[in-house]
Each structure stands twice: as structure tokens, then as C-alpha cells.
Structure 1
Amino acid sequence: MPHDDHDHPHALLPPDPALRVKALETILTRKGLIDPAALDEIIDTYQNRIGPKNGARVVARAWSEPDFKRALLSDATPVVAELGYYGRQGEHMVVVENTRHTHNMVVCTLCSCYPWPLLGIPPGWYKSDAYRARAVREPRKVLADFGVTLPADTAVRVWDSTAEVRYLVLPMRPEGTDGFSEDALASLVTRDSMIGTGLPKVPS
């Protein structure tokens, strides 16, 4: 069978995913198809300079400004684009709000569709087969694995992110944050709380 052919080029790639990525990067660099410096810049931008910071700013503003929140929940794409958060992987955004009665969680059951302009690079667990399968079948157990226990009467709604639509969860504003500035509120917003697998930090 072709997959057993050790002379096939793919057989030369190491089995570990990280090593495979490095091997492919080396091959593409030698062929002049990618520039390692440009690649490092892109990764650094999304992992460190963007990360979930943009999303946290959006959430903090929604917590602070009712009109902004209404517009965000009504049609998120132009609202976040106006703030400068747009581009590949963020063309069509939908924001769903957590309430006392409903908790939202996002998954991509087919691959790893994710709102890069707002949350940066998706975490490894988000792309895993286990998360993609279990989030739909047993969302409460998945939440428990992340340390989130919800009241029995809080419904859990799972949203399937796709190439056409990407979702951002608007978590509930923590109690005891009256009078907080947007910067202070943004510091409480975690990446996982915007995916729905976590909650915002509790103010100290």
C-alpha cells in the first residue's frame, strides 16, 4: 500500500507534529517559498501582540457601554471592524452573550476555525479531536474539565464555528466591578472566557 512505502517523500518526515512542522518549514525555506523572518513576525503578532487582548477590549467596552453592547450583539462584524479588528479568520463575527440562564461555548467540529483578529492563535486543545468531539456530546463534562461548574438550571449552548461564521462569547461581567475602567475590566477577561470554556477573573 502507498502508506507503507518508505521511499515516499512523506515517510522522511518525523512522526512528532512539532518536528514535522519544523521539517516542512525547512523544506519550504530551502525552496524559497517562505521567509522565516516573515513567518516569525506573523506568529509573534498573533501570539503576543494580539493574543486575546483585542477580544478583551471588546468585552470590556460591551460591559461598560450599553449601546455598544446592543450593536455588538446585533451585528458584530462592522462593530469590531470599526475598532480595527478585522481580516483573515475574522470576516464574519457573531457575539453570543452568557447570562444567568444560558452559558455559551464555541467549538469547530471540522477543523479549528477561530477568530484570529480578536483572540490570536487558537490554543492546542481547541484543535484537538477530543475537544471537537466532546464539546458537542458532553459540554458540561468538558466545562468541568476546565474547572467550570454551572448551576443545574443554566443551559449550555454550543456554537459550531465555521469558515463562514466565527463566534466570540461575551461572558458575564464579574460582580464587584462597578466603577472599574475599561482597562481594569479588560484585565479580568480571559481567552477561555471568550471561548466559553472559562470564566472571567474575579477582582481581588
Structure 2
Amino acid sequence: MSTETSYSRPLAAPEKRAEAIVGALKDKGLISDQDIAEYAAHAAQRWSADNGAKVVARAWLDDDFRARLDGDATATLAALGYSGPPQQTRIKALFNTPTLQNVVVCTQCSCTAWAVLGFPPDWYKVPEYRARAVRESRQVLRELGLELPASVQIRMWDTTADSRYFVIPVRPEGTDGWGEKQLSEIVTQDCMIGVANPIVPPL
């Protein structure tokens, strides 16, 4: 899901910088178009928010798995085949409760736990989100479409070079008897960043 908010904007400047870097590397013979295509295909296949959605659904259904995820998410995810680049040495699962909403931000750039979130959405990279999310958390979430009551505490987690986070949202009511596949279909990338909560489709 792509969150449509004031944070959505053309990313012309980053795109131009990326093109310049790619051009310089190609000029030096360090990469080729084939290298780029193969990496993009590999990344799209291996790093996906679909992975995270399956993890969340399983955590809702399996208390033992949830406990392992809470104890050591990095090892638990690796056992499922979900691991990011070598520099992503630690992934932590953040568990929401009815009175706690965890939210992920990267104030320095736009890092995410690629293995379970995939590449970050455009709005996550926008400087306005990165700058305001920590200072004005409740207002930013409201602008992103998530209205939380005052009784819900918001806890922001700033991604670092070696620590990546993803959110396990609260399982919504009305999902009793659902299997893992059906549950995973209501878990979006935004839910696992913490700026949205799963919604049960109307019958």
C-alpha cells in the first residue's frame, strides 16, 4: 500500500543523485546494466513486505513463534530464510498493544528492515516525515491517516546502521478462525512501519 499524504512528492533530487552515481560506476567499469538488473530482480524476490506479513500472521497464531521472535528476531527470521544485506546485523520486532503504538523512522536516511519490509515507500524517505515524526508523532500519524486516542502511547524507534525494526500490530477483532494466509493479506507495509493498523475488509 502506498500512503497518499502531503509527504508524497517527486523524488527528483535523489533520483538524479542515484543516476549520477550509477553513471560514474559504469564509466569506471565497476558495474554493468546486467549487474543492476540482476540485483533488482534478486532484491524484489528476496526482500519483500510479503515476508513480514507472513511473519506477523504467524506471530498472531503461534505463541511459541511469537516468543522466539520477541527473544531474537534476527535468528528467527534467518531460520525462515528472511535476511537482509550483511550490514543489517540486527532486526528487532516491536509488539504493539492496545495502549502502545510502535512507529519506525530513519531520521538519517531511509533504512528499513529490508528482509521483512522490502524497500521503503516514497513517503518514508521524505525529509518532512523524518524530521517531524519524532517531534510531532501524534500529528504526523494523524496526517498519515491514523488517528489514535490519547490513551495510546506512541513510541518512536529510530533505525541505525546496525539496528532495524519492524512492527507486529495488534490482531484486529473479527479475525477469529482466520488462517495464516488470510491474516497476512490484511498486513501492509505501513502496518509494519507503524503508521497504520490492519483493517478487516467489510463483508
TM range (shorter): 0.7 to 0.9
Equivalent positions of 1:106-185 (< 5 A) are 106-185=104-183
1:154 is displaced (CA, Å) by: 0.5
**Bigger relative contact order (CA 8 A; separation at least 6):** 2
Name the residue aligned to 1:58. 55
Name the residue aligned to 2:15. 18
Distance 1:180 1:163, change over 3 A: same
CA deviation string 1:169-198 (max 9, x = no partner) = 001112111111111111110000000011
1:73 is displaced (CA, Å) by: 1.2
**TM-score (ref. length: structure 1):** 0.86
* Aligned mate of 1:94, from 85, 92, 111: 92
1:46 is displaced (CA, Å) by: 3.1
Larger Rg: 1
SS at match of 2:123: helix
List runs of 5+ in structure 1 lacking aligned partners: 1-14
CA deviation string 1:54-113 (max 9, x = no partner) = 111110100110111111112211111110111315420111111111001011122222
Amino acid at match of 2:96: N
CA distance in 1, matches of 2:14, 2:160: 24
CA distance in 1, matches of 2:165, 2:155: 12
**TM-score (ref. length: structure 2):** 0.86
Deviates more, 1:77-86 or 1:39-48: 39-48
* Aligned mate of 1:40, from 26, 37, 42: 37
1:49 is displaced (CA, Å) by: 5.8
Name the residue aligned to 2:25. 28
Q: How many residues align?
A: 190
Amino acid at match of 1:175: E
Q: Tell whether 2:69 aligns with 1:69.
A: no
Kindly report the root-mean-square deviation, in angstroms, between the aligned alpha carbons of the 2 structures: 1.8
- Contact 2:175–2:200 under 8 Å retained in 1: no
SS at match of 1:158: strand
1:47 is displaced (CA, Å) by: 4.0
